[in-house]
Structure 1
Amino acid sequence: MQLTTYIADLLYRYECVIVPGFGAFLTRYKSAQIDDATNTFHPPSKIVSFNKQLQANDGLFANYVASVEKCSYETALQRIRNFTAEISMALSEGKTISFKNIGTFSLNEEKSLQFEPLPQQNFSTSAFGLSSFVSPQISREVYKETVDAFEEKAPIHFTPEGREVKPYLKYAAIAVLAISAIGFGSLKLYENQVQKFNYAEREKANSLVENQIQEATFVIENPLPVVNLQVPKHTGLYHIVAGAYRMEENAEKKVSQLREKGYSPLKMEVNRYGLHQVLYASFNDKLEAQRKLYEIQKSENPDAWLLVQEIH
Structure 2
Amino acid sequence: MQLETYISDLLYRYECVTIPEFGAFLTQRVSATIEATTNTFHAPKKVVSFNEQIQQNDGLLAHYIADVEKIPFELANRKIAKRVKLLKSYLTQGETLTFKNIGDIVFNDEGKILFEPTYHLNYLTDSFGLSEFVTPTVTREVYKKEAEAIEKVIPIAITPEKRQSKSYLKYAAVALIALTIGGFGASKYYVNQIETHNQLAQRQATQQLDSKIQQATFNLNPFPAITLNVTKQTGNYHIVAGAFRVEGNCDKKVKQLKSDGFSARKIGANKYGLHQVVYASYEGRIDALKSLRNIKKTHNSDAWLLVKKLD
Q: TM-score, normalised by structure 2?
A: 0.49
Higher RCO (C-alpha 8 Å, min separation 6):
1
